[in-house]
């Protein structure tokens, strides 16, 4: 049989880069009492296996999103065509390989210590880093040749957003939009993710927060297993109530209104005389200028 690289790819061949949230602060919280990390893994591994079974040319890459670092856990492209069609590569063997790397990654992530401030007792995961790794991997696929599967990113996320990552996450979102790579989001935490809502909306992906986590595999297989070509013919969840609020560059807080630098577009919650990002100097706030102009109108010289 000819190797996979020499086959002609069709519009139903997919490259799914799965970003798996492994933040120990999230999984050790009260949330884990109803849905543990091992429960989510059983659903995720079954979903990955189903993607590979849908088409022999499909590829799946798993990137672990930890609290302090990110890392590759599984890459189906490392399996040769002979291995994929032999009896040596089965579901238990695939799970064992992924679980060993995942266990090693979690130990290394915890050994790095707490370098990010917690939010309501649950630290945020390094979403910006995993998105960057996914986009770098996809760019390597694009540059490998004219024949490649259609890539998309699936974020299985539960940790709260880290406001300090706002700039890096938005840069990744716009890079994905420019490369026409959809970012799908499956949020399993107790609250919605404003970052992933914007990511899915801007890139044309699907955002979903499952109501029943016991049926996570059904959500993944019916919504996120669909290739990009087939999405034109089926009804997928629509974006409702997207949070477009930004985080200020000075205090890393989510704000409704703020000041924007006209040079570098940095966002601040308070007026500053000088931009801390690009160094541009500002005048008086607009409210002061408007008040002074109104006084001149009332008292003409």
Tell me the pLDDT tens digit for each residue of 41-55: 999 999 999 999 888
Q: What is the pLDDT of residue 112?
A: 77
- What confidence score (pLDDT) does residue 249 get? 72
Structure tokens at 234: 């089926």
Sign of CA dihedral 55, 61, 64, 65: negative
- Sequence ranges of the domains in the chain: 12-232, 246-298
Q: How far apart are CA 110 and CA 68, in angstroms?
A: 8
Report which DSSP code applies to 301.
-
H or E element, residue 64? strand 59-65
Asked whether 204 and 174 are in contact (CB, 8 A), the reply is no
2-11, 94-103, 171-180, 195-204: range with lowest mean pLDDT? 2-11
What would the pLDDT profile of 171-229 be if each residue is shown by its tens digit?
Answer: 999 999 999 999 999 999 888 898 999 999 999 999 999 988 989 999 999 999 988 88
3-state secondary structure of 268: strand
This prediction's pTM: 0.79
* pLDDT averaged over every residue in the chain: 81
User: Measured between alpha carbons, how far is residue 237 from residues 109, 218, 241 in Å?
Assistant: 34, 14, 12
Q: Given pLDDT bands bounded at 50, 70 and 90, which one contains residue 119?
A: very low
For the chain, what percent of residues have pLDDT higher than 90? Answer: 36
Q: Which of 13-17, 55-59, 159-163 is most confident?
A: 13-17
Whole-number Å distance between alpha carbons of 46 and 91:
8
Tens of pLDDT along 135-153? 999 999 988 877 888 999 9
- What pLDDT score was predicted for residue 94? 66
Of residues 206, 189, 203, the one with CA closest to residue 65: 189
Backbone conformation region of residue 113, classed left if phi is above 0, alpha if psi is from -120 to 50, else beta = left
CATH homologous superfamily of 12-232 equals von Willebrand factor, type A domain (3.40.50.410)
Would you place residue 2 in the very low, low, confident or very high pLDDT band (cuts 50, 70, 90)? very low
């Amino acid at each position: 049989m000819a190797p996979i690289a020499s086959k002609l790819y069709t519009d139903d061949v997919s490259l799914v880069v799965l970003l798996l949230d492994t933040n120990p602060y999230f999984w050790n919280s009260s949330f884990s009492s109803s849905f543990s990390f091992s429960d989510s893994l059983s659903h995720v591994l079954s979903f990955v296996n189903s993607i590979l079974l849908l088409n022999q040319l499909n590829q799946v890459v798993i990137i672990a999103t930890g609290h302090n670092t990110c890392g590759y856990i599984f890459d189906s492209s490392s399996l040769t065509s002979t291995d994929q069609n032999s009896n040596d590569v089965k579901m238990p063997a695939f799970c064992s390989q992924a679980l060993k790397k995942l266990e090693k990654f979690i130990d290394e992530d915890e050994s790095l210590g707490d370098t990010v401030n917690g939010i309501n007792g649950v630290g945020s995961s390094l979403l910006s880093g995993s998105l960057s790794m996914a986009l770098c991997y996809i760019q390597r696929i694009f540059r490998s040749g004219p024949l490649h599967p259609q890539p998309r990113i699936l974020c299985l996320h539960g940790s709260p957003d880290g406001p300090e990552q706002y700039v890096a996450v938005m840069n990744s979102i716009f890079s994905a939009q420019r490369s026409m790579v959809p970012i799908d989001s499956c949020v399993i935490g107790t609250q919605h993710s404003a970052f992933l809502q914007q990511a899915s909306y801007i890139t044309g992906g699907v955002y979903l927060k499952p109501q029943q986590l016991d049926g996570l595999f059904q959500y993944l297989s019916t919504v996120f297993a669909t290739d990009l070509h087939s999405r034109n013919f089926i009804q997928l969840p629509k974006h409702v109530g997207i949070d477009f609020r930004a985080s200020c560059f000075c205090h890393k807080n989510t704000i409704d209104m703020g000041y924007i630098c006209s040079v570098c577009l940095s966002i601040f919650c308070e007026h500053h005389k000088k931009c801390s990002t690009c160094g541009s100097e500002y005048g008086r706030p607009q409210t002061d200028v408007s008040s002074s102009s109104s006084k001149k109108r009332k008292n003409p010289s």
